[in-house]
Structure 1
Amino acid sequence: MPASTVKRVTAADVARSLGLSRATVGFVLNDTPGQTIPEATRARVLAEAKRLGYRANTAARALASGRSRIVLLVLPDWPLDYSMRTHLDEASLTLDHAGYSLVTMTPHPGGHAQPLWETLRPDVVIGMTPFAAEQLADIRASGVEHVIPSVPAGEAGAVGDLGYVDGPRLQVEHLLARGRTRLAFAASPDPRISDLVAQRRDLAADTVRRCTGSGLAAEAAVTESEVADLVAAWRAAGVDGVIAYNDDVAALVLGAALRAGVRVPDELAIIGHDDTPLARLLVPALSSVRIDTAGIGRYLADLALSAARGTPPPVAGPDTDALLIQRETS
């Protein structure tokens, strides 16, 4: 029989097979809140639905309930590195366990694709970074009820206001505590993350100024072709500690220093950020700031679920804090 002529199993078929009312079966299959269905009856309905091959009509369900059970995560145009992948995997898993699907999109400047908040009608739209005021207004105009963060960029209440943004402060305080006096910031040259790089650099510089009364001794974007010259120039200027934007940048600085015969950490201490597997594999092992990206993924998923369900938002716990991990490079 052609697939197009196969009759779809409905809730009425399940009810008829069990001799139950369509209302009872509908309450079970739709997981309708506020209904007192005996657990034994619920189990019978679910077992029979599975045996008959019942599949929920998700489009009809969404139309009837006004809920799509979709959470749309709007990503900035950042590289999908280890931290981001871990973050997305955990957020997706948490939402899946709750019966929701995670969909991601990355708006591009000058792009022509219709925004997914218009085509999917998600229950919640959540941003990895605060939305611009115009973008936030556009999302709300499309009918999305729950938007996180609910205030535009530049105002208080951003999703990013969690403990993990303190990583650069921990990097600086650690190097100063280790006796380093002239610190350099090693930045990523990737233009896609220039705002994030600037945020971490500024926090590092502010911490140095607060603790010592002076600013960074140096700062530069680190590229593979120029890192050797950069490290030599920093050493000539008396730099004895390097705050790296992330572990990849720190690895470039570390490799150049070792090849030049610089003793790490005696002459030059280096600390990365994100504590990726690379930090533990390097020799010497790289000091870094650990960000529990899986924990942050769970937190943001729980934030979206609380908005969709109308329950109190989760409290940011220790898994959203930054943690300094000291190894051999400092």
Structure 2
Amino acid sequence: MSGSATKRVTAADVARSLGLSRATVGFVLNETPGQTIPAATRDRVLAEAKRLGYRANTAARALASGRSRIILLVLPDWPLDYSMRTHLDEASLALDEAGYSLVTMTPHPGGHAQPLWATLRPDVVIGMAPFTTEQLAEIRGSGVDQIIPSVAAGEEGSVGDLGFADGPRLQVEHLLARGRRRLVFAASADPRIADLVTQRRDLASRTLTTISGASFVVESVVTEDNAASEIRRWIDHGVDGVVAYNDDIAAITLGAALRAGIAIPQQLAIVGHDDTPLARLIVPSLSTVRVDNAGLGRYLAELALSAATGAAPPLAGPETDANLVVRETT
């Protein structure tokens, strides 16, 4: 094989080129706190490092400083839908502006990959859902001190999943205000989000019972394959309003209803959840619920930064108020 590997430029090379001590150059390149390096010297070191093509050895820097400037976000095995992507994009941007990198991982049941908290040595590990007792023990055993949430699921002081608003309540209230009385909750069949589906369905059901004393007319899980038959079943039971788990389920329902010749919204009103681009673009456009997923991402970043730097945590949680967006399907 011809050619040879390019030699990595080190801090020693930068020091030799400038005629400075290795310690001085190391203090500048490693951003060592508590050092009084003149601004002119710091500028010379950074300029020469750039000219020579120096790249920091992040592993060595982490060992020297005790900080990796990595935030590890542990995701449940959920699909990366529009709302989740918005959330992650905003969190990543906020952390990047503060000089931190956001890394995500999804533990899978029966998986054999080594957890990233053991290999990356992140400054903070944060979970979108509470950790199990076993996970917390593993994370702490890997040397990570800052964990959010720090209490295992089901234990005293534990918290629920981060950032869920009361959109299902608005969905039900809106349909009742439109004069719809026989409602169905259209659930997703995806087993990965079964807990989320149950949370939204339960809140919608409680709202319906509290306001009208009624219950959902039928239980229904909607897929592309069964949507037509489910809608026929709904119509047979007199259903006139649909609370959809999200906009994808609402769109599947809408398409099947239109193909069956059902008038929307006169015969069947539909409300989605998440206000995805699909909700605006589909014809007729979907009434839906908008949640501030970007705000939730910024809040998550603030939590992580407060744990990483010792700064005061954010004074309040994310904006959890959901907003109803009324369009053509209601």
The TM-score normalised by the length of structure 1 is 0.90
| Unaligned segments of structure 2, at least 5 residues | none
Shift of 1:320: 4.8
Alpha carbons 1:126, 1:149 under 8 Å: kept: yes
- Provide the C-alpha distance between the structure 2 equivalents of 1:77 and 1:166, rounded to a whole number of angstroms: 22
What is the aligned partner in structure 2 of residue 134 from structure 1? 134
What is the aligned partner in structure 2 of residue 10 from structure 1? 10
Q: What do you get for the CA RMSD once the two structures are aligned? A: 2.3
Q: Does the residue aligned with 2:200 lie in a helix, a strand or coil?
A: helix
Q: 1:28 to 1:214 in 2, by over 3 A?
A: same
Alpha carbons 1:175, 1:269 under 8 Å: kept: yes
Q: Does the residue aligned with 1:263 lie in a helix, a strand or coil?
A: coil
Alpha carbons 1:121, 1:144 under 8 Å: kept: yes
- Provide the C-alpha distance between the structure 1 equivalents of 2:33 and 2:136, rounded to a whole number of angstroms: 31
Q: Does the residue aligned with 2:166 lie in a helix, a strand or coil?
A: helix
Query: Is 2:219 aligned against 1:219?
Result: yes
Alpha carbons 1:69, 1:123 under 8 Å: kept: yes
What is the aligned partner in structure 1 of residue 269 from structure 2? 269
- Provide the C-alpha distance between the structure 2 equivalents of 1:318 and 1:113, rounded to a whole number of angstroms: 33
Alpha carbons 1:246, 1:274 under 8 Å: kept: yes
Shift of 1:288: 1.0
What is the aligned partner in structure 1 of residue 98 from structure 2? 98
Shift of 1:329: 0.9
Identity, % of aligned positions = 74
Q: 1:286 to 1:129 in 2, by over 3 A?
A: same
Bigger mean CA deviation after superposition, 197-206 or 23-32: 23-32
What is the aligned partner in structure 1 of residue 159 from structure 2? 158
- Provide the C-alpha distance between the structure 1 equivalents of 2:162 and 2:72, rounded to a whole number of angstroms: 20
- Provide the C-alpha distance between the structure 2 equivalents of 1:324 and 1:39, rounded to a whole number of angstroms: 54
Q: Does the residue aligned with 1:242 lie in a helix, a strand or coil?
A: strand
Bigger mean CA deviation after superposition, 44-53 or 85-94: 85-94
What is the aligned partner in structure 2 of residue 205 from structure 1? 205
- Provide the C-alpha distance between the structure 2 equivalents of 1:174 and 1:26, rounded to a whole number of angstroms: 62
- Provide the C-alpha distance between the structure 2 equivalents of 1:315 and 1:325, rounded to a whole number of angstroms: 29
Q: Does the residue aligned with 2:88 lie in a helix, a strand or coil?
A: helix
Please tell me the residue identity of whatever aligns with 1:253: T
Please tell me the residue identity of whatever aligns with 1:189: A
- Provide the C-alpha distance between the structure 1 equivalents of 2:160 and 2:126, rounded to a whole number of angstroms: 9
Q: Does the residue aligned with 1:73 lie in a helix, a strand or coil?
A: strand
Please tell me the residue identity of whatever aligns with 2:255: G
- Provide the C-alpha distance between the structure 1 equivalents of 2:24 and 2:196, rounded to a whole number of angstroms: 53
- Provide the C-alpha distance between the structure 1 equivalents of 2:246 and 2:39, rounded to a whole number of angstroms: 51
Please tell me the residue identity of whatever aligns with 2:77: D
Residue correspondence of structure 1 range 73-152 to structure 2 within 5 A = 73-152=73-152
Please tell me the residue identity of whatever aligns with 1:323: N
Shift of 1:50: 0.6
- Provide the C-alpha distance between the structure 1 equivalents of 2:43 and 2:293, rounded to a whole number of angstroms: 37
What is the aligned partner in structure 2 of residue 260 from structure 1? 260
Q: 1:161 to 1:113 in 2, by over 3 A?
A: closer
Shift of 1:21: 5.0
Shift of 1:188: 0.4
Q: Does the residue aligned with 1:3 lie in a helix, a strand or coil?
A: coil
Residues 230-283 of structure 1: per-residue CA shift (max 9 Å, x gap) = 112212222221110111100111112222222222222111111111000111
Alpha carbons 2:68, 2:122 under 8 Å: kept: yes
Q: Does the residue aligned with 1:45 lie in a helix, a strand or coil?
A: helix
Residue correspondence of structure 1 range 166-181 to structure 2 within 5 A = 166-181=166-181
Please tell me the residue identity of whatever aligns with 2:161: G
Alpha carbons 1:149, 1:159 under 8 Å: kept: no
- Provide the C-alpha distance between the structure 2 equivalents of 1:257 and 1:40, rounded to a whole number of angstroms: 71
Bigger mean CA deviation after superposition, 201-210 or 291-300: 291-300
- Provide the C-alpha distance between the structure 2 equivalents of 1:308 and 1:318, rounded to a whole number of angstroms: 19
- Provide the C-alpha distance between the structure 2 equivalents of 1:95 and 1:161, rounded to a whole number of angstroms: 18
| Unaligned segments of structure 1, at least 5 residues | none
- Provide the C-alpha distance between the structure 2 equivalents of 1:41 and 1:174, rounded to a whole number of angstroms: 65
Shift of 1:23: 4.4
Give the paired residue count.
Answer: 327
Please tell me the residue identity of whatever aligns with 1:14: V
Q: 1:261 to 1:315 in 2, by over 3 A?
A: farther
